[in-house]
Structure 1
Amino acid sequence: MTRIDNLPENLTANWLRFDQLSNHDVHDLLRLRQNIFILEQNSLYADIDGKDPEALHLMIRNRHTGELVGAIRLFADLKNGEARIGRVVIAQEGRGGGLGRLMMEAGIDEARRQVPGCRIHVSAQAYLENFYGSLGFETVSEVFIEDGIPHIDMIRSG
């Protein structure tokens, strides 16, 4: 069990390698990402991109119902001293209470644990630029369209 400061008591958090995910975990993860990224945001793209097996996954579940309410995927590159956080997703019922900030702080902490002093990259939806900026990320690109949605590249220096 991963400790995340200020995580509400009704939630659990686990960092898991892909080979540690149960069949149920994989199903829930893909369903949550499909529901939010593809259906809710009306963005048709290939979420199953072959990269999940290489990533570390933060899984946030409701302690009482077992429902997956949030997830992050993290790539740590020790050789190059960099990390990438992506596929940050929160179920509708988990939004508005600061869970996104807690998840991103956990992602930053885990990236630094995996690769001390690393630069952390995110490809952020453009409307979230101020949110990521408040976490120390700086914009390093112009707005571009990815999967039909405006994005920007941002980096947080070690």
Structure 2
Amino acid sequence: MSWHVKKFDELSNSTLYEIMKERVSVFVVEQQCAYPEIDGKDYLCYHLFKEENREIMAYLRIIPVGVSSNGAASIGRVLVKQEHRGQQFAQTLLEKGLKFLREELKEKKVQIQGQEYLKEFYSSFGFKPISEVYLEDNIPHIDMELIIDLKITF
């Protein structure tokens, strides 16, 4: 099993297909949410994923400053494939994503639009709410922010 961080252009066709398949499986099918999963931002993002035998087990998208309208770096599309949940992949995934933002992109602030039921999970990494709970695609969400201390390691 290996973890990878790749720019869009570094993804093979088959890896990109597997990533999109898992994103649609989780965010459209499992969560019964019809929305435009392919949003045009992927070209400008980094893609962090755990892969084994061409299977995407966990994934998140790292969105650099300037790609979203919030003016901050962001993490999104965080998922662990259903059959691999409960194995600490989500924690490792977020740790690796934050480490990349801190060490490679030198970011000091990260914002997320997280599903509200994951508020405690994100809070455990230091994220703080910066909005009230709101509905996005009929799912309760909350905006959260993390100020990265460059001295702390994940």
TM-score normalised according to structure 2 size = 0.89
How far off its partner does 1:81 sit?
8.6
Corresponding residue for residue 25 of structure 2: 35
Amino acid at match of 2:27: F
String of CA shifts for 1:69-114, please: whole Å, max 9, x gaps: 1111102228x99420001111011111111010001010001123
Alpha-carbon RMSD: 1.6
Q: Which runs of 5+ in 2 are unaligned?
A: 149-154
Percent sequence identity over aligned pairs = 36
Name the CA shift for 1:75/1:107 in 2 (closer, same or farther; >3 Å). Answer: same
Corresponding residue for residue 52 of structure 1: 42
CA distance in 1, matches of 2:76, 2:107: 19
Corresponding residue for residue 71 of structure 1: 59
Amino acid at match of 2:63: F
How far off its partner does 1:51 sit?
0.4
String of CA shifts for 1:23-60, please: whole Å, max 9, x gaps: 10111011000101100010110000000000000021
Corresponding residue for residue 137 of structure 1: 127
TM-score normalised according to structure 1 size = 0.87
Corresponding residue for residue 112 of structure 2: 122
The alignment status of 1:150 with 2:140, answered yes or no, reads yes
Greater shift in the superposed pair: 49-58 or 67-76 = 67-76
Name the CA shift for 1:72/1:144 in 2 (closer, same or farther; >3 Å). Answer: same
Is the CA contact (8 Å cut-off) linking 2:58 and 2:80 kept in structure 1? Answer: yes
Is the CA contact (8 Å cut-off) linking 1:139 and 1:153 kept in structure 2? Answer: yes
Instruction: Count matched residues.
Output: 145
